[in-house]
Amino acid sequence: MSISQWPQHERPREKLLQRGPAALSDAELLAIFIRTGVPGKTAVDLARELLGRFGGLRELLAAAPEELCQLRGLGEAKYVQLQASLEMGRRFLEEKLKRDVLLGSTRDTKDYLQAQLRDRKNEVFCVLFLDNRHRVLVFEELFQGTLNGTAVYPREVVKRALRLNAAAVILVHNHPSGVAEPSRADELLTTRLKEALTLVDIRLLDHLVVGDGEMVSFSERGLI
């Protein structure tokens, strides 16, 4: 039976219009995106099959193009659309973050950073540069590393902060292992960066470590 033959309240599009997107399952949301099924399968059936194959929506969105483009019902065009949709979501969070006062919108900050970093395969070190009212000037990825770590140079962080006329910064890096617990090396680096920034009268407000579904704040732990 095709989706058009389903009761109206069960069709994904109609359900979204009547009850909002939060009322839909991952498979129903993906089915709206896929739009059409394949012989013998509705778009919802195909969506469920894809989610089962990859282990969930997050894993599907993070899949490499060669994994998706060869699958029946998808292809290069659908992959491009998926990635465009994902990037629009990231940019929406970024605009929201820049518009709001950072310390008054902690949830938005964490959502944005999780979206940016949790699926990265290698460790990356980023900085939120803030003005004197703690509003975001810019979020930048400054250093990239291997699976196990990255080299961070305090001088470069200070140089960039001065160029942006930042009054404060928040450091952010991810742990590709998914475990957000800070290492001793993370603590030593934070101390070095705080000392370097203090010399030019720039406050280090926090250092956030992004894991898989969790985030550790140095400030909340009294490490800064």
pLDDT digits (tens, 9 = 90+) for 50-69: 888 888 877 777 777 877 77
Helix/strand/coil for 46? helix
Is the pLDDT at 196 greater than 90? The verdict is: yes
State what percent of residues in the chain have pLDDT above 70: 88
Strand bridging mode 168-174 / 203-210: parallel
Domains of the chain: 3-74 (no CATH), 102-217 (3.40.140.10)
What's 203's DSSP letter? Answer: E
Grade residue 105 by pLDDT with cuts at 50, 70 and 90.
very low
How far is residue 189's CA from residue 172's CA, in Å, rounded to a whole number?
12
| pTM greater than 0.85 (yes/no) | no
Which H helix or E strand runs over 172? strand 168-174
- Give the pLDDT confidence score for residue 187 in this predicted structure: 92
How far is residue 143's CA from residue 127's CA, in Å, rounded to a whole number?
10
- Give the pLDDT confidence score for residue 1 in this predicted structure: 60
- The tally of CA atoms less than 13 A away on the side-chain side of residue 133 is 7
Is the pLDDT at 104 greater than 50? The verdict is: no
